[in-house]
Amino acid sequence: MLLRDSQFNWLNKVVSPSKINTNKIVASSRAISAMDSTPSENRSDKRKVIAVVGGGLVGALNACYFAKRGFAVELFESREDIRQAKVVRGRSINLALSHRGRQALKHVGMEETIVSKGIPMRARMIHALNGTRSPIPYGKKGQYILSVDRANLNKELLTAAEHYPNAQLNFGHKLLDWSIESGAMTFLRPDGAKEQIKADLIVGCDGAFSAIRKQFLRQSRFNYSQTYIPHGYMELTMPPHNGDFAMEPNYLHIWPRNTFMMIALPNQDKTFTCTLFMPFEDFEKITTEEEVMGFFQTYFPDSIPLIGEVAIKRDYFRLPAQAMVSVKCSPYHMGDKCVMMGDAAHAVVPFYGQGMNAGFEDCLVFDEVMEQFNEDFSVVLPEYTRVRVPDDHAIADLAMYNYVEMRSHVNSKWFLFRKYLDNFLHFIMPNTIIPLYTMVTFTRTRYHEAVKRWHWQNKVINRGLSLCGVASMAGGTYLAIRFALSHPSLTVDQLWSRVHTLRWY
């Protein structure tokens, strides 16, 4: 319930000169008037106020979800409005939009808008050290992931949220503190003044270093872990060549080098964003332009003419390598006043391309639980935690695993054999054998269930391969014995020589 003192503060904020959308001012004023004239016990849940803290991807999408349901939505972002910013700060690793994220966008009518501005990537393109390239398809024909620009996606979602008359966007509002008992929040405004807001539900979408989560850490029985991996990342830009892409655009390009790797994703402006992932100690060994070029000539020689020596030297020393953190916690809610989503609840490393997709699916899952329990926050929040925590922990672990696969396993002939075998078995038994990547990327199979099924499938396939191996050895031994018995004059050396020649066939 929104209390009267917060109604007054909220109204002052709504009608402040910084708010120029008069339709929203009228709508908000009417909503507050209706609250004043309606007994609290009879008031519809639709008039509850939802405070979304964080105006990034998940926060902006959440604002759309709650506004669509008819709640009064207040979004608070500590940074300036990126739609007016000259320089957009923050992480810029390209995003890979897949099925889960698309379904979440579709629910608020945003899928086609975003998809139309993405570039399909239908396979990994592996760049060997000798310069040869080999594709590894992501799935069946017609299945692909989309390379999308983070900043543009964020702008589109903020604009979509702003179109709802019952949603207000507040930029330059830094959260200082909040109360679990009352739902009151204290913000530092752009003018330096402090402002208190009260809401019926606080939704924390404020990233891996969440201010909302700090309050959770003060509570008992809250589990939390934070892990920095020993690898960092650095971005370089591959410019267009003769007005077109320098490489094939419909691939996620990978230069796997066992302990490190470089990837490249296409952009709408015909550039590629190249990201070098490497242990920090290796980054620190390279201190001069000559060492940078020596490193690229040794490990990524085919990329030098595509990126350009000048650009490599410039981009490498422009910013230091950035850290990557994995965050797990539980529960995601506190009472019926607060819930966390996105990186605030489960920051993951970027190697499965599911960080944004998992965050978007958070919004969709929460909306589905809201529908199931008629928007009763006292039931919805604990149920959301119960359903979502095991899935988010599973994708966090998978993201860690996939880094090893991308930088090392893709060089293995056994790995490639298993990929083709899994895809073949999936083709002939589509409902029995489903590759892990397909389950994670092209379906909404719950993450933790996908992992369980993956382990089961691996046991079945490996046992099948073992039986085939044993049968082949037994058959070969039987034939060798029969052949030896039918040719008693043949010596062991002669028999071995004949067997050895079979390798040429």
How many separate helices (H) and strands (E) can be counted in the chain?
Answer: 18, 19
User: What is the crossing angle of helices 289-299 and 309-316, to 10°?
Assistant: 120
Cis peptide before 350 (omega within 30 of 0): no
Q: What type of residue is 485? A: L
The predicted structure's pLDDT at residue 394: 96
Determine the Cα–Cα distance for residues 233 and 364; give it in Å rounded to an integer: 30
Please say whether the beta carbons of 383 and 339 come within 8 A. Answer: no
Residue 79 makes CB contacts below 8 A (sequence gap 6+) with: 55, 85, 89, 90, 171, 172
Nearest to 115 by CA among 149, 65, 141, 69: 149
Q: Which two tokens stand for residue 45?
A: 């849940």
pLDDT at 181: 82
Residue 404 is predicted with a pLDDT of 78
Confidence at residue 444, expressed as pLDDT on a 0 to 100 scale:
97
pLDDT averaged over 10-residue windows placed end to end, the chain, 505 residues: 39 37 35 34 62 97 97 96 76 83 98 96 94 90 93 96 96 93 90 92 96 92 94 95 95 94 95 95 96 97 96 94 95 95 95 95 98 96 98 94 74 74 83 91 96 90 75 68 65 62 51
DSSP-derived pairing of the beta strands 261-266 and 194-198: unpaired
Read off φ and ψ for residue 382, nearest 5 degrees. -65, -35
Spatial contact of 442 and 99, defined as CB atoms under 8 Å apart: yes
The pair of structure tokens assigned to 203 is 């939704």
The pLDDT of residue 424: 83
